[in-house]
Amino acid sequence: MTEIPEHLRKRAEAAKAKAKAAAGGDAPSADTPPADAPTGTAPTGDEKIPSHLLNRGTAAADMPAAPAGGPAAPVGGSGPDGHNQRLLTVVKSGSIQDTRALPVDKVHVWPHLLVAEFLSALAVTLFLLLFAIFVNAPLLELADFNKTPNPSKAPWYFLGLQELLTMFHPMVAGVTIPGIGLILLVMAPYIDRNPSKRPEDRKFAISLMTVHLMFWAVLVMIGSFFRGPGFNFVFPWNAGLFFEL
């Protein structure tokens, strides 16, 4: 419970004693101000109470209470036990404010992430099933060291490295260039620390990944469709297509 300040308590006691004295009640207590005190002066201290407030309190105390079962007393009548003062207390604003948490850009794994992954897995499985039905991919005959196929190509996912071997020294094509690409991809999250997910805010990361994919895709396409017998450069619309799955 909030403790009532001492000067307010004394002021309330003095007002109650004055109201009883005006109504012909008991004599004023020791805390009651003297009769010659000027109207509007507080019982203690130098603080002044406006005269209209004192008159309002006295008039409210003199009004008769409403009889039981009768009409309600007029507005401005005395409260319970003859009190006509109301004390207000200061409440900290933090206790009545509606504090709301800031929005967080996160979602739950279930169902948001798992549902999307499950639908993606179904779509990939359906694509592979239809591709296997309509595209024939027979196995080749057993390898014969006396008969080397011409052109001799690596699997399509290694044709990028095989294409680099036709242009650079094996050390450069097989170690230096792929190593630089992998190091750049590993360092990309530490170089571009922007937390935004908007493409226009991630120019460095998107540019690096685009260059990497386009560089590798071009090498694979050249090795797959533009290399003929002897792994020489040919145009597929002139020499034919030397590519097998």
pLDDT tens sequence across 178-210? 999 899 888 888 888 888 888 888 888 888 889
* Whole-Å CA distances, 125 to 53, 115, 117, 130, 245: 86, 15, 12, 9, 19
Q: 20 is in which domain, residue-wise?
A: 6-89
Number of domains in the chain: 3
Least confident of 46-50, 131-135, 199-203: 46-50
pTM given for the model: 0.45
161 within a domain of the structure (yes/no): yes
What's the CATH code of the domain at 243?
1.10.287
Terminal alpha carbon distance of the chain: 85
72 within a domain of the structure (yes/no): yes
Q: Which residue has the tokens 């206790």?
A: 95
Statement to judge: residues 126 and 182 lie in one domain: no
24 within a domain of the structure (yes/no): yes
What burial letters (b/e) apply to 234-245, b meaning 16+ CB within 10 Å? beeeeeeebeee
Statement to judge: residues 112 and 161 lie in one domain: no
Residue 30 confidence class, pLDDT cut points 50, 70, 90: very low
Statement to judge: residues 151 and 233 lie in one domain: yes
